[in-house]
Structure 1
Amino acid sequence: MKKIFLGALALMFLSVVSCKQAADKAEEAADKAEEVVEKAEEKVEEVAEKVESAVEGVPSFSDPAVQEYVNAYEEYMAEYTKIVESKDMTAFAGLSTKGQELAQKAQDISGKLSGEDAQKWTDYMTASSKKMQELAAKMTQQ
């Protein structure tokens, strides 16, 4: 009878220890999952901040023609940047016609702006001009 009682007692002891270990492992897994979620949230915030800062430089205008110009100019800037980075002088020369067309459109558009759009336009073109100067400097340094 003693053996049965001691066996049952040992079995209960092992069950308690086993449950305690399982609870500890579950708690450990929950802590790790929480860390992963926190890191993922931080990464999402970083990406959101980068997207926001990229978009901040491109204002939206009430006049559809102005917005269309700005979108075309952003495409031009992206292409210009790509060409500067690739050091492709042939492609750079081919881009001059597009730049001249955009310059002409800019003159036409700037005369039609009023109020808030005029200020946005000035700020946008000033920032864009600075970017172009930086890119041109990169091109001449090569």
Structure 2
Amino acid sequence: MKKLFLAITVMGLVSLTSCKKEEAKVEDATEQATEDATDTAEEAAEVVDNAAAAVSDIPQFSSPEIQKFAEEYAAYFNEVTEATKSGDAAKIQELSAKSVEWTKKASEWTQKMTAEDAQKWVEWSQKIAQAASGQ
């Protein structure tokens, strides 16, 4: 009887000790995952803010029509930024579908631009793309 009681006591202590270690590992892993998610969210917010700043810095074009197109493009990109910030997946998907249309429009407009305006457009669109990709 003493041996049985001793064996049960030893097994109980071993199992309690191992459970405490596992709980500590789970807590550490949970804390690390939470920190990683927070860091990722902060980095994403910074990228979105940088992209919004790049969009708002619209260059002055020589043609009023091109200027209007640039402002419309900036408004579209601001919509994308807001949808990204809010996490609205449906809106993001809708705006992603429109990106092909905007690319075609931009291509058409760059063909109508003067060399100076085309250079401004390329620099501005590259600045937006770099800000959006986090560079």
TM-score bucket of the superposed structures, by smaller chain: 0.5 to 0.7
Aligned to 2:45: none
Question: Equivalences for 1:79-98 in 2 at 5 Å?
Answer: 79-98=79-98
Say which structure, 1 or 2, has more relative contact order (CA 8 Å, 6+ apart). Answer: 2
Structure possessing the higher radius of gyration over alpha carbons? 1
- CA gap of 1:62–1:133, structure 2 versus 1, over 3 A, is same
Distance 1:65 1:97 in 2: 24
Q: Does 1:63 align with 2:63?
A: yes
2:111 maps to 1:111: yes
The answer for unaligned runs of 5 or more in structure 2 is 1-52
Aligned pair count reads 83
Give 1:121 shift.
1.1
What are the superposed Cα offsets for residues 56-90 of structure 1, whole Å, 9 maximum, x if unpaired?
72101112221121111111111111111111111
- Map of 1:23 onto structure 2: none
SS of the residue 2:112 aligns to: coil
In structure 2, do the counterparts of structure 1 residues 94 and 121 end up closer, same or farther at CA, with 3 Å as the change threshold? same
Q: Matched residues, percent identical?
A: 32
Q: Residue 129 of structure 1 aligns to which amino acid in structure 2?
A: A
2-side partners of 1:99 and 1:55: how far apart? 15
Q: TM-score of the superposition, structure 2-length normalised?
A: 0.53
| TM-score, normalised via structure 1 length | 0.51
Distance in 2 separating the partners of 1:98 and 1:123: 22
Q: 1:88 to 1:58 in 2, by over 3 A?
A: same
For residue 58 of structure 1, give the secondary structure of its aligned residue in structure 2.
coil
Alpha-carbon distance change, 110 to 100 in structure 1, aligned in 2, over 3 angstroms: same
Q: CA RMSD in A?
A: 2.4
After superposing on structure 2, the runs of 4+ consecutive aligned residues of structure 1 that deviate more than 3 Å are 53-56
